Protein backbone atom coordinates (compact mmCIF):
# COMPACT_ATOMS: atom_id res chain seq x y z
CA UNK A 1 0.00 0.00 0.00
CA UNK A 2 1.42 3.37 -0.96
CA UNK A 3 1.91 6.20 1.51
CA UNK A 4 -0.81 8.28 -0.22
CA UNK A 5 -3.34 5.43 0.12
CA UNK A 6 -2.43 5.01 3.78
CA UNK A 7 -2.92 8.73 4.44
CA UNK A 8 -6.32 8.67 2.69
CA UNK A 9 -7.43 5.65 4.63
CA UNK A 10 -6.27 7.30 7.83
CA UNK A 11 -8.39 10.39 7.03
CA UNK A 12 -11.34 8.16 6.14
CA UNK A 13 -10.92 6.16 9.32
CA UNK A 14 -10.70 9.32 11.42
CA UNK A 15 -13.83 10.75 9.76
CA UNK A 16 -15.71 7.48 10.32
CA UNK A 17 -14.81 7.61 13.99
CA UNK A 18 -15.39 11.32 14.67
CA UNK A 19 -18.33 12.34 12.48
CA UNK A 20 -20.95 9.86 13.77
CA UNK A 21 -20.05 10.69 17.37
CA UNK A 22 -20.51 14.40 16.71
CA UNK A 23 -23.84 13.77 15.00
CA UNK A 24 -24.95 11.77 18.05
CA UNK A 25 -23.99 14.67 20.34
CA UNK A 26 -26.10 17.06 18.25
CA UNK A 27 -29.05 14.67 18.31
CA UNK A 28 -28.76 14.37 22.10
CA UNK A 29 -28.72 18.16 22.47
CA UNK A 30 -31.77 18.49 20.22
CA UNK A 31 -33.62 15.95 22.38
CA UNK A 32 -32.71 17.99 25.47
CA UNK A 33 -33.84 21.16 23.73
CA UNK A 34 -37.21 19.54 23.05
CA UNK A 35 -37.79 19.49 26.81
CA UNK A 36 -38.35 23.25 26.52
CA UNK A 37 -41.52 22.54 24.54
CA UNK A 38 -43.35 21.62 27.73
CA UNK A 39 -46.01 24.33 28.15
CA UNK A 40 -46.44 23.28 31.77
CA UNK A 41 -42.86 24.36 32.49
CA UNK A 42 -42.13 27.10 29.93
CA UNK A 43 -43.84 29.93 28.13
CA UNK A 44 -42.92 31.28 24.70
CA UNK A 45 -44.44 32.98 21.69
CA UNK A 46 -44.57 31.48 18.21
CA UNK A 47 -42.42 34.21 16.63
CA UNK A 48 -39.64 33.52 19.09
CA UNK A 49 -39.69 29.80 18.30
CA UNK A 50 -39.81 30.44 14.55
CA UNK A 51 -36.72 32.66 14.79
CA UNK A 52 -34.84 30.03 16.81
CA UNK A 53 -35.69 27.29 14.32
CA UNK A 54 -34.73 29.55 11.40
CA UNK A 55 -31.36 30.14 13.07
CA UNK A 56 -30.76 26.41 13.64
CA UNK A 57 -31.79 25.59 10.08
CA UNK A 58 -29.50 28.29 8.67
CA UNK A 59 -26.61 26.65 10.50
CA UNK A 60 -27.61 23.25 9.10
CA UNK A 61 -27.76 24.66 5.56
CA UNK A 62 -24.28 26.17 6.00
CA UNK A 63 -22.95 22.85 7.31
CA UNK A 64 -24.52 20.90 4.45
CA UNK A 65 -23.06 23.33 1.93
CA UNK A 66 -19.57 22.75 3.37
CA UNK A 67 -20.03 19.07 2.44
CA UNK A 68 -21.33 19.93 -1.03
CA UNK A 69 -24.95 19.17 -0.14
CA UNK A 70 -27.68 21.67 -0.89
CA UNK A 71 -30.72 21.78 1.36
CA UNK A 72 -33.54 24.29 1.45
CA UNK A 73 -35.38 24.89 4.69
CA UNK A 74 -38.59 26.62 5.66
CA UNK A 75 -40.31 27.44 8.92
CA UNK A 76 -44.09 27.49 8.63
CA UNK A 77 -43.78 27.71 4.83
CA UNK A 78 -41.50 30.77 5.00
CA UNK A 79 -37.91 31.00 3.82
CA UNK A 80 -35.62 30.87 6.85
CA UNK A 81 -33.72 33.96 5.76
CA UNK A 82 -36.83 36.13 6.21
CA UNK A 83 -36.71 35.86 9.98
> What does pLDDT average to in each consecutive run of 10 residues of the chain (83 residues)?
71 94 98 96 96 97 98 95 89
Of 62, 38, 56, the residue nearest 74 (C-alpha): 56
pTM check: above 0.75: yes
Backbone angles phi and psi of 75, in degrees to 5: -120, 120
Residue pair 60/73 in contact (Cβ under 8 Å)? The answer is: yes
Amino acid sequence: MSQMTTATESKRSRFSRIFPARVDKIRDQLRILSNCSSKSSYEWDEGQIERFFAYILQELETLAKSFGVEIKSQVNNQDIYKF
